Structure 1
C-alpha cells in the first residue's frame, strides 16, 4: 500500500511528479496524494499501466545482466527515479560484485531518497543531473570519481526520454553521451510509444502528464530507433520490451514501449 514519503518540499506535494507516479505504478510507497490521483487517472485510461511498468523494470534487469555478462563494470543510470526493488546495483552485482553504479536524476527528492537508501560502499552513488545537460553529468566530480570514460560504460536511459520534448533535442543529448564513451560501451534504452493505441486515449494520457512535472512525449518505432545512431543493436534489435531477450523471469508481457541495447561502434 502506498503511503506518504517521510520528507519532501511541500510545494512538490501539490504537483504530480512523474518519478513518483512510476513508483506508484510499481506498488511503491514513495509518492504523494497528487501523484496517486494522477496515476489513477492514467490507470483509468490505460488499466494495464502497472503491469507495463513491471515489464519495463524486467527489461532493465535483463539489459543490466547482459552488460555485466559482456564484461562491462561501469553503469551510468540516467533518469533513475526513486529507488525500488531490483535496482541496478543489486542486479549487476549478482553477476559482477566489483561493478560501479552511478544513479542520476533531476528530481532532488528522488536523489535524496537514493542517497539515504543506497549502500555506502564507495561503488554506488546518486547525483542530481539532467539528461538534457549531459556535459554537466559527465563533469560531476562524483561521476568522474566512479566512472572511467576510458573504459566501456553501460549508459542506461530507461523510461526517461519520453519525458523530454523535441524542443530540448533529446537526440543531441544521447549523441553527446555516445561521443563521451569508448567503443564497446553500451546504450540500454526503453521508450514509451503510442503505436497501436487509440488516438483518443493517447490524447487523454498526455493531458494528464501535461499537469505533472514533465510532459509525455511518446514516439514511433522509427523515432526511437534514431537514438541508436552510432550503435550496433544487439539481437533481437529494437522490440517491444517483453520481447527483448526473455530469460524465463516471470512477466505478464504487457508493454507500452520499445526497448533495445546497442554497442557503441
Structure 2
C-alpha cells in the first residue's frame, strides 16, 4: 500500500479521537512539569496548583524519570529482560523505556499503553526503536487489565512464554479505589510467566511536613485535578505480596540502585514517592 504524501490523511488510519482540553490529564500535566509543550491550559493550571501546594513536585517528577531509567537499565543489562510492557507511559520524554532497553539489548521488544489519545499520537510519531527491536503502542486503560493482556498487538509483540517486565511508573496513585488498584496489579502478575518482573513507583505523603499535607488536603477537596490516592509504605508494599522483592526493597526513589545511571540528584526528604522492583516466581 502506498503511503500518502505529507499532509494528506491515510484512508486506512483510525480517526484521531477527540481530546477534551478543558479537563486536566495526568500525562499532559506530567509533560508540563517536565518542560514539555504537549499540554493545554487546564493541564498547566492544574500543575501550577499542585506545585504551589507541594513545592518539590517537579523534583519528585524528575527523580521518577531517573528511577524508571535505572530500573529499565538494570532489567535489560543485569536481569536479561528483553520484553517490556509499560502501562501509563505518558507523553514521550527522551530517553524513554525503549531507548534505555534497546541501548543494552537492541532486540528488546516494548509495548507502551496509555488511555490518552494525545499520548498515542505522539508515541506513533516519536517513539522509533532500533531496527532489531520492536516498539508498539496501544490505547487502553489500566483499569481493564484483561483488555491489555488480551490485546492483539500486545500478544503479537510480547512472547508470554518468556519473562516480561511490567512497568507501572507513577500511574497507580491515579486509582483512588484501593481494592481496585491492588486487584489490577494482582491480575497482571497472575498472567505473567515465571521470571518476569514488576516495577512500580508511587506517590506517598509519608515524608511530607504537616503544613504541606494541609495544603494538599485543601486542594483535593476542591476536586479540580482529578482522582489522586497517595499511599503509605504499608499500602505500597501490598502491591508486592507474594513476590520476591529485589534489594534494596521498598524505598524512596532516590534510594533504589543509586549506583546506576542516571544517578539521583535529590535528597530523600525532597521526593514523596516509593519505588520497588520484584521478580515473579512460580512454585
TM-score surpassing 0.5? yes
Deviation at 1:183, TM superposition (A): 1.4
Q: Distance in 1 between matches of 2:32 and 2:17?
A: 19
- Among 202, 205, 213, which residue is 1:194 paired with? 205
Deviation at 1:37, TM superposition (A): 1.0
Q: Distance in 1 between matches of 2:264 and 2:136?
A: 29
User: What residue in structure 2 maps to residue 160 of structure 1?
Assistant: 171
1:149 aligns with 2:157: no
Q: Distance in 2 between matches of 1:43 and 1:206?
A: 13
Unaligned runs of 5+ in 2: 1-15
1:185 aligns with 2:185: no
Whether the 8 Å CA contact 2:90–2:119 is kept in 1: the answer is: yes
Q: Distance in 2 between matches of 1:151 and 1:250?
A: 30
Aligned pair count reads 256
Q: Deviation per CA, 1:5-44, whole angstroms, max 9, x where unpaired? A: xxx8776111111111111111111111111111011111
Which one has the largest radius of gyration?
2
Q: Distance in 2 between matches of 1:93 and 1:11?
A: 31
Provide the alpha-carbon RMSD of the alignment.
1.8
User: What residue in structure 2 maps to residue 4 of structure 1?
Assistant: none
- Among 84, 99, 113, which residue is 1:75 paired with? 84
Pair 1:248–1:85, CA change in 2 (3 A): closer
4+ residue segments displaced more than 6 Å? none
Whether the 8 Å CA contact 1:45–1:204 is kept in 2: the answer is: no
User: What residue in structure 2 maps to residue 97 of structure 1?
Assistant: 106
User: What residue in structure 1 maps to residue 3 of structure 2?
Assistant: none
Whether the 8 Å CA contact 1:194–1:202 is kept in 2: the answer is: no
Q: Secondary structure at the match of 1:36?
A: helix
Whether the 8 Å CA contact 1:237–1:260 is kept in 2: the answer is: yes
Q: Distance in 2 between matches of 1:181 and 1:11?
A: 33
Q: Secondary structure at the match of 1:14?
A: coil
- Among 41, 56, 72, which residue is 2:49 paired with? 41
Unaligned runs of 5+ in 1: 1-7
Report 1:26-37 matches (<5 A). 26-37=34-45
User: What residue in structure 2 maps to residue 222 of structure 1?
Assistant: 234
